[in-house]
């Protein structure tokens, strides 16, 4: 558990054990220093203040800024002093583009060289404070074009994706690193195993490195990272983040003094990103990790917020499904928050899990972590469950058909309507999400609403819902959107409020050892909850012209009916008894998309052939028992 007010857990434990005459310590035998394992985990028997600190530089295999020179990748390294006397240790690496711009963690910590000697005095995050004393080396690597690395960022293109691989190769004797004086430095202290960790962009770099299959990368811990960059800025042919977002992000992570220099690289990305159509091209192919999962040899501890509206949940789900298909060793955490690090969501359990995970995969400690349930899932604020897998075993895709209404909303049932019926609405490019969702029993011209009867038993969905519409339009193009809503009053994690589900407190707790310039102490957090009459459970969009493929747009024939099938974002959600399921069908969805359609099409939906397919735990019998 974390101890408030800067009393570090590891420090306090060591003091108490020492007072009892039982403090663990490194073995000073003739064969040299070694880690100490007690109570199934490595112990903090090595110093932090005296740890060896280095800044090293590697010639890469690429030239991102096209200056005729290979880019140089810089990284900062900290390792126990005992590694100079024969101790062999693994590496934990966080490769990031953010160390000198956006910075890291809930408190936005940047790298800092306070005395100008070329070595870090302030190391972001707690990994160094906690793991170096336990017999690990920590590397914080500057992605290409950021901080001390040369070149220009390319927003998850190959140059970004291969940055960390350079350090893995060096650790395993396949690349050359030099210090600031130009002297060659070797990793003769390395035990041959490395892990990578990181949130958001850092998480994507961990996955990008893993899918290269590079030898020596043993495990990765991606936290809320994009896995398909197309899905980060597009969805089924619709642009969700436009105005050359990939170039804008590259500008954000570039040091201000280099932004003008890197402008040609950004301009080339903006010209190639296809904002005009939203179609999938080769530009996005190199920014895809899911299809490269068969190359992986590293295990994965994956974390994602189910309500993350920055890196949406389909990033974790597509990657997770691919991991399962390829029998990759894996575990998964799913929380109710938005884009929040588990260190700020479930801190003590996360640090303990991370400690045991790295001990097992990097030090070979037999702690049984891979024998435990594969999935940890937050059902409500700070209420966690464990499951054998995800989606939850026993889920089955269950068809729920759209039913015609008379004066208000239509219905939802497990069988189609007996007679053909049509629902009609007109696209509105300005309709707000609240207007779409609120007052579902009121007929509105720019949406269709469908409501179930109040449920008579819990209904649990786990996986990726899909919407299947049979529809026509009076224009050659339109968009479609669908929203699954829980209409029922309840207290839920307030993931759409400030903090995305957490409140940052003024008290601190500490995780690891300290130096005069760096401590492992961080502000504590608490869950932010709110009571509301409804919850937007999940949503999805598509461009009707991409109904056959996200690679090719095919115009509609006016008045002709087509089948439109598109996924909603994955979810794991329990609708409670007395609540009602709601399905909202719209065209443009401006709060999900930067590309509202301009045709204002009139749309006809054939209800008898239209449905939502829900991944119901227990399948159709469970849905029937709940009153659908």
In angstroms, the Cα distances linking 68 to 13, 64, 139, 208 are: 54, 9, 28, 25
Three-state secondary-structure class, residue 322: helix
Of 620, 595, 616, nearest in space to 462 by CA: 616
Give kind and range of the element (H or E) at residue 604: strand 602-606
What token pair was written down for 398? 């269950």
Question: Distances in Å between the alpha carbon of 534 and those of 8, 492, 593?
Answer: 41, 10, 22
User: Please, which residues have CB within 8 angstroms of residue 81's CB and are 6 or more apart in sequence?
Assistant: 46, 47, 50, 51, 52
**What residues contact 405, with CB distance under 8 A and at least 6 apart?**
411, 443, 450
Outline where DSSP puts E strands in 155-202: 177-178, 184-185, 190-199
Orientation of helix 201-210 relative to helix 163-171, angle to 10°:
50
Residues 315, 321 contacting (CB under 8 angstroms): no
Cβ atoms within 10 Å of 15's Cβ, excluding its own:
13
> CA 595, CA 604: separation in Å to the nearest integer?
22
Omega prior to 391 cis, within 30 of 0: yes
What backbone torsions phi and psi does residue 19 show, to the nearest 5 degrees?
-65, -30
Beta bridge partners of 399: 613
Residue 62 near residue 159 (C-beta atoms within 8 A): yes
Are the C-beta atoms of 119 and 55 separated by less than 8 Å? yes
Spatial separation of the C-alpha atoms in residues 463 and 481, rounded to whole Å: 19
So which residues are the catalytic ones?
Answer: 200, 308, 339
First-to-final CA distance of the chain: 44
Q: How far apart are CA 469 and CA 48, in angstroms?
A: 60
Task: Give, in order, the Cα–Cα distances in Å from 483 to each of 293, 400, 406, 412, 584.
Answer: 30, 14, 21, 14, 5
Other CB atoms within a 10 A radius of the CB of residue 327 amount to 7
Nearest to 474 by CA among 614, 325, 599, 330: 599
């Amino acid at each position: 558990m974390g101890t408030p007010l800067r009393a570090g857990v590891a420090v306090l434990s060591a003091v108490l054990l020492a007072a009892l005459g039982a403090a663990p310590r490194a073995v000073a035998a003739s064969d040299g220093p070694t880690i100490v394992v007690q109570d199934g985990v490595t112990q903090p028997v090595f110093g932090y203040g005296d740890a060896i600190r280095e800044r090293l530089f590697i010639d890469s295999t690429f030239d991102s800024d096209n200056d005729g020179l290979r880019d140089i990748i810089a990284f900062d390294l900290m390792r126990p002093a005992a590694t100079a006397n024969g101790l062999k240790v693994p590496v934990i690496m966080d490769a990031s583009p953010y160390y000198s711009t956006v910075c890291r963690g809930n408190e936005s910590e940047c790298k800092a060289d306070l005395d100008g000697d070329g070595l870090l005095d302030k190391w972001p995050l707690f990994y160094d404070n906690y793991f170096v004393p336990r017999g690990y080396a920590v590397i914080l690597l500057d992605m290409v074009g950021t901080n001390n690395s040369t070149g220009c960022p390319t927003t998850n293109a190959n140059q970004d994706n291969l940055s960390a691989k350079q350090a893995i190769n060096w650790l395993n004797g396949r690349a050359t690193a030099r210090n600031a004086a130009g002297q060659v430095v070797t990793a003769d202290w390395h035990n041959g195993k490395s892990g990578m960790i990181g949130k958001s962009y850092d998480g994507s770099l961990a996955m990008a490195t893993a899918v290269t299959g590079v030898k020596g990368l043993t495990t990765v811990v991606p936290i809320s990272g994009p896995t398909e960059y197309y899905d980060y800025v597009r969805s089924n042919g619709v642009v969700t983040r436009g105005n050359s977002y990939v170039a804008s992000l590259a500008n954000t992570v570039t040091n201000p003094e280099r932004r003008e220099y890197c402008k040609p690289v950004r301009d080339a990305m903006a010209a190639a990103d296809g904002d005009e159509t939203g179609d999938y091209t080769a530009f996005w192919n190199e920014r895809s990790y899911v299809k490269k999962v068969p190359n992986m040899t590293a295990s994965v501890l994956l974390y994602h917020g189910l309500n993350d509206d920055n890196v949406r949940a389909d990033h974790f789900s597509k990657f997770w499904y691919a991991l399962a298909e390829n029998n990759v060793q894996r575990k998964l955490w799913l929380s109710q928050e938005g884009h929040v690090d588990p260190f700020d969501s479930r801190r003590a359990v996360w640090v303990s899990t991370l400690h045991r995970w790295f001990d097992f995969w990097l030090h070979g400690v037999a702690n049984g972590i891979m024998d435990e349930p594969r999935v940890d899932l937050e059902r409500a604020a700070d209420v966690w469950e464990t499951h054998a897998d995800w989606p939850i075993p026993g889920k089955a895709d269950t068809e729920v058909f759209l039913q015609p209404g008379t004066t208000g909303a239509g219905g939802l049932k497990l069988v189609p309507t007996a007679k053909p019926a049509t629902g009609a609405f007109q696209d509105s490019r300005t309709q707000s999400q609240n207007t779409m969702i609120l007052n579902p029993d009121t007929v509105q011209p720019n949406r269709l609403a469908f409501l179930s009867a109040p449920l008579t038993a819990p209904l649990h969905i786990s996986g990726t819902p899909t919407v299947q519409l049979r529809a026509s339009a009076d224009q050659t193009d339109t968009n479609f959107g669908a929203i699954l809503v829980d209409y029922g009053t309840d207290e839920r994690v307030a993931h759409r409020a400030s903090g995305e589900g957490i409140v940052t407190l003024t008290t601190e707790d500490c995780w690891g050892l300290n130096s005069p310039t760096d401590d492992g102490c961080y502000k504590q957090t608490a869950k932010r909850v709110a009571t509301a009459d409804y919850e937007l459970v999940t949503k999805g969009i598509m461009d009707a012209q991409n109904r056959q493929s996200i690679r090719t747009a095919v115009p509609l024939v006016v008045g002709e009916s087509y089948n439109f099938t598109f996924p909603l974002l994955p979810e794991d959600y329990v609708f409670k008894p007395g609540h009602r399921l709601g399905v909202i069908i719209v065209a443009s969805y401006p709060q999900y998309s930067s590309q509202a359609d301009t045709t204002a099409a009139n749309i006809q939906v054939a209800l008898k052939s239209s449905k939502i397919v829900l991944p119901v735990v227990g399948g159709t019998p469970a849905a029937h028992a709940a009153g659908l």
